[in-house]
Amino acid sequence: MRLEFELPVIVRAKYGRATTEKTVIGFVPHVAELSEYGSSEAPLALAFRQVNAENQATERVEYRAVDGRLWADSRIEAIGQAFSMDLGSNDVAPFFAGRRGIAEKIEAVIDKMSDHKRQPAKRLGPNSLVVHVVEKGSVYRFEPLMGMRLDGELGAQVIPQIEAFDALLADFVVIDGRIHRQEKEPLIRLYPDGNGLWACVERHGYAGRSVRIHSTLPRSVGWFRMDDRRGMSEEAEVILSAMGLPGSLNDLIENIEVYDRSVLKAAPEAIAIFDVSDAMRRHFQSVMSRDGDGEEHGAALTRWLSKAAGRDVRFFKAISGKFRGDAADDELPPDLEEAFMAMAEDETGDYENFTGSDRLKIFAREVARRWKDRPVSLDFVGNASGALG
């Protein structure tokens, strides 16, 4: 597909009679090519339907496989509930409900519609100049950069912006007339929230959804393949039972369809280890910084080191010394892997020295159990085939 459009750019230049450089926004004509495929060339590999926890909209996401990579397309199936009013009821009619009446409901609907109005642009470059231009296009028009009276080295500023945008376009293809974006393999994410556990499919890589983080809780307590939803439910039951059944599992996933299992290559157990490791690192740093009144800095750490076993010291060195928010990859750093192997091989399950207590201890124990029971394998193959409800 050949695309011809006006690409917005930002430069620093002298404008008109100005004696100093100013920031100038304009556009340059640009042509780009997107690869096109038919549905037979890009077969459906994965699909799922999920309810958005924030706006309750139902989204269907489809992944098609081309050249060993996944390309995703999403559709919003519902953007909100329709407004209705029962005639003859005793409720005050919204037309007479003051400032919080029907006007507020209409504004809410309009806001929700506007959220979906510019989805292609937002998906193309979130929070970018492209979105800014699309949103502001009805307010003011940009001028061609070369038509302005600008004095300065424009080429050196414009060319990198064009190249960056072309690199962004490389993540998109057209399949059956719809734009698809290249994405990593999605995984089912199980994470703590409130008194229970939540489950959702994570897109755009791992840990993409913003989750409230407490000092003693991990971002996630488990990652599962798209063909292992049953395993996710079973793990959730084990964790909730160990927590004393404080709440239920809130499953936002309505349906999962797996058509090509060869695309499932990620290492979910490793991702869970990263999340729990981060929680333990934060917990460790918090506990070890609690020096007593009048004590020198580091006194709490010194006390702990004097009592801890050598294995525990090595464990904490791996967790708190090497893990610094590194990107979660298919392989773990050797020291982090060694630390969790030590946990997995501990038959007693007594992690009081290095995991704290309560839920963090439970999450660490369950991740270690999964690590021991199911070693990470890049050629994992599920049992069933077809649609998984």
Mean pLDDT taken over the chain: 76
Q: What percent of the chain has pLDDT over 90?
A: 16
Residue-wise pLDDT tens digits, 163-214: 888 888 888 888 988 888 888 899 999 988 877 899 999 887 555 566 677 7
Q: Tell me, what's the pLDDT at 109?
A: 60
Q: Residue 353: in which H helix or E strand, if any? A: helix 352-355
Asked whether 266 and 215 are in contact (CB, 8 A), the reply is: no
DSSP 206-233: SS-S-----TTS-S-SEEE-TT-HHHHH
User: Which phi and psi angles does 254 have, rounded to 5°?
Assistant: -90, -35
Q: Report in angstroms the alpha-carbon separations of 191 from 63, 125, 223, 327.
A: 24, 28, 9, 19
385: confidence class by pLDDT, cuts 50, 70, 90: very low
Mean pLDDT, residues 100-114 taken together:
59
Q: Tell me, what's the pLDDT at 389?
A: 42
Gap between the Cα atoms of 73 and 143, Å rounded = 33
N residues, the chain: 389
Asked whether 277 and 321 are in contact (CB, 8 A), the reply is: no
- For residue 13, pLDDT over 70 is answered with yes
Gap between the Cα atoms of 203 and 161, Å rounded = 27
Beta strand pairing status for 249-251 and 196-202? Answer: parallel
Q: Tell me, what's the pLDDT at 378?
A: 39
Residue-wise pLDDT tens digits, 214-236: 777 888 899 999 999 999 999 99
Gap between the Cα atoms of 171 and 34, Å rounded = 9
Mean pLDDT, residues 355-373 taken together:
81
Q: Does pTM surpass 0.85?
A: no
Q: Is 187 exposed, middle or buried (0-12, 13-18, 19+ CB in 10 A)?
A: buried
Number of helices followed by number of strands (H, E) in the chain: 11, 15
Which of 113-117, 129-133, 147-151 shows the lowest per-residue confidence on average (mean pLDDT)?
Answer: 113-117
Cα–Cα nearest to 315, from 325, 331, 329, 304: 304
In 10 A of CB 53, how many CB atoms? 12
The angle subtended at Cα 85 by Cα 84 and Cα 87, nearest 5°, is 145
Residue-wise pLDDT tens digits, 222-273: 999 999 999 999 999 999 998 887 778 999 999 999 999 998 888 788 888 8
Mean pLDDT, residues 332-352 taken together:
75
Residue 381 Cα to chain centre, angstroms: 25
- For residue 82, pLDDT over 70 is answered with no
